[in-house]
């Protein structure tokens, strides 16, 4: 990307670090929303995110870019599909946190970059370099090791990783900004969310408005806390390199992992430490290899321009 002034780069780093830190501390927030269940929390997250994003889009006068997407059946279809996958991701994450599997949710976001690489090979026919294959092999070994220890596949981690990787792939094909994308995704999901909340209200099992003003405000804030880090991320993406963003992304699962151990006191057996160590080794390999390869390509391009 084009070089930016130091102050802009520093501001971008702060925005990015803030976004990933907020995401990392989400496990502390969702338990506060109980007795609301995962789907009810998800529904409120959709509705109130849409309300906030609509207000921001109005202030920034960015509705035109949304109209351009809506006029394209292909882009609208892809974005609607992306909305389904991000809703699944949010729902599984909320379930994982509120059912005592915070460490397992962190694993999902640790292995997400590796799953993205795997999908590039399977779906896009991309060719991997030797070290990338080594990283995937280590990740596969980690999943087997953790599956044996859990007595089941780490399905929460796998669902989070594959749903988010698929979401990222679809968003890449649509080519829409983070804010505009969230607006359209929540708009697609809003009818289902409203229908579910109406059903809960009719059944008398909903939390909103029946568990005190504090619970209602916390449910509303779930939408605000969805939109704010995304806005910060959008600001960071325009100011820092992709390499820096790639490194910052590990802040979120690291914080989740630490919260799972030290705040929620989840068990970490020796086998689980081995599994996570394999994942961290794989991530170190692809990170160092990716930076090295990028630098090599930049030197090659600079040499070609000089000739």
CA distance 214 to 33: 9
Determine whether 42 is exposed, middle or buried from the number of CB atoms within 10 Å of its CB (0-12, 13-18, 19+): buried
Please report which confidence band the pLDDT of residue 242 belongs to, taking 50, 70 and 90 as the band edges.
Answer: low
Chain segment 137-196, per-residue pLDDT in tens: 999 999 999 999 999 999 999 999 999 999 888 888 887 777 888 889 999 999 999 999
Specify the higher pLDDT residue, 235 or 264. 264
Residue 288 has pLDDT above 70, yes or no: yes
Where are the domains positioned within the chain? 6-306
Residue 100 has pLDDT above 90, yes or no: yes
What is the per-residue DSSP string for 73-102?
HHHHHHHHHHHHHHHHHHHHHHHHHHTT-H
Per-residue exposure over 258-288, b if at least 16 CB sit within 10 Å of its own CB, e if not: ebbeeebebeeeeebeebbebbbebbebbbe
CA distance 41 to 220: 10
How high is the pLDDT of residue 290? Answer: 84
| Cα–chain center distance at 261 | 21
Please report which confidence band the pLDDT of residue 251 belongs to, taking 50, 70 and 90 as the band edges.
Answer: very high
Describe the chain by its helix, strand, coil percentages, rounded to 5: 85, 0, 15
How high is the pLDDT of residue 3? Answer: 52
How high is the pLDDT of residue 4? Answer: 54
Q: Where would I find the beta strands (DSSP E) of 92-206?
A: none
Cβ count near 96 (within 10 Å)? 27
Global pTM reads: 0.88
In contact, 135 and 107? CB cutoff 8 Å = no
């Amino acid at each position: 990307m084009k070089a930016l002034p130091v102050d802009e780069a520093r501001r971008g780093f702060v925005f990015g670090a803030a976004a990933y830190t907020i995401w990392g501390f989400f496990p502390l927030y969702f338990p506060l929303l109980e007795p609301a269940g995962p789907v009810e929390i998800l529904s409120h997250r959709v509705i109130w995110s849409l309300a906030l994003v609509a207000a921001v889009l109005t202030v920034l006068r960015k509705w035109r870019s949304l109209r351009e997407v809506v006029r394209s059946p292909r882009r609208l279809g892809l974005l609607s599909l992306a909305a389904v996958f991000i809703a699944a991701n949010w729902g599984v994450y909320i379930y994982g946190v509120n059912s005592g599997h915070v460490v397992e949710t962190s694993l999902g976001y640790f292995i997400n970059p590796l799953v993205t690489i795997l999908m590039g090979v399977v779906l896009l026919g991309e060719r991997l370099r030797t070290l990338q294959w080594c990283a995937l092999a280590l990740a596969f070994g980690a999943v087997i090791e953790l599956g044996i220890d859990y007595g089941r596949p780490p399905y929460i981690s796998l669902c989070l990783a594959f749903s988010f990787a698929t979401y990222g792939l679809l968003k890449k094909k649509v080519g829409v900004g983070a804010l505009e994308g969230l607006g359209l995704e929540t708009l697609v999901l809003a009818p289902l969310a409203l229908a579910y909340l109406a059903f809960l209200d009719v059944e008398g099992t909903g939390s909103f408005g029946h568990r005190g003003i504090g619970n209602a405000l916390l449910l509303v804030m779930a939408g605000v806390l969805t939109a704010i880090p995304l806005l910060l991320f959008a600001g960071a993406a325009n100011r820092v390199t992709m390499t820096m963003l790639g490194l910052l992304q590990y802040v979120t699962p690291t914080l989740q992992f630490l919260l799972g151990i030290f705040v929620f006191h989840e068990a970490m057996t020796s086998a689980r430490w081995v599994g996570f160590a394999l994942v961290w080794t794989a991530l170190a390999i692809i990170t160092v290899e990716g930076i090295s390869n990028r630098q090599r390509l930049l030197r090659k391009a600079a040499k070609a321009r000089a000739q």
